[in-house]
Amino acid sequence: SQGESIQFLQFQMAFSLLADNIYISFYSCLSMKKESTSSRKESALRRIEKATFAAGCFWHVEYTFSKLPGVIKTESGYTGGKIKNPSYQQVCSGTTGHIEAVKIEFNPVKISYKKLLDKFWNMHDPTSFDKQGADHGSQYRAVVFYHNPAQKKEALASKQTLEKKGIYKKPIATQILPA
């Protein structure tokens, strides 16, 4: 009958409209998820972390870290002292408490903090206090300066692992301190 045909047609139209809405909603959600995943990846790629290491004369340390893929920027300077903006002569006098250090900006997606620590441990004598190679003085002591609790935990664990390996006859003198 004609009434049943109209009802069937109305049902088809309603069902079709419902299906279209479900289809649009489903693909909108997928699109949003892709954008969200994509923006998270982009955010991770743009995320920059800092690490600071002291291992003797900062020129060698800075050069070595600057060559690593994932290291964006290195900056040599003095840290840990009592006065602001000391001169080279003041730092060398041993009275300011400063240490020659290198601040590193790195992309943790491209290079991990653990890899930076591994490079650090291999570029200096961790058993030597106030001396690295021919450089003597408190400004040349070796220190890992951590910027957050996760870095502190990782630095302490890497130092402990190195100690357990028993590679060195003397105890490790490298310090782990807040940045």
The torsion angles phi and psi of 76, rounded to 5 degrees, stand at -85, 150
Q: Are strands 175-178 and 142-146 parallel, antiparallel or unpaired?
A: parallel
Catalytic, 29? Answer no
Closest Cα to residue 108, out of 63, 159, 171, 44? 44
What is the C-alpha separation between 155 and 10, in angstroms, rounded?
Answer: 69
User: Which amino acid is located at 126 in the chain?
Assistant: P
Distance between CA atoms of residues 93 and 139, nearest Å: 9
50, 57, 60, 81: the active-site residue:
57
Q: Cα dihedral sign for 132, 135, 140, 141? A: positive
Alpha-carbon span 118 to 88, nearest angstrom? 29
How would you classify the pairing of strands 99-106 and 142-146? unpaired
Catalytic residues: 57
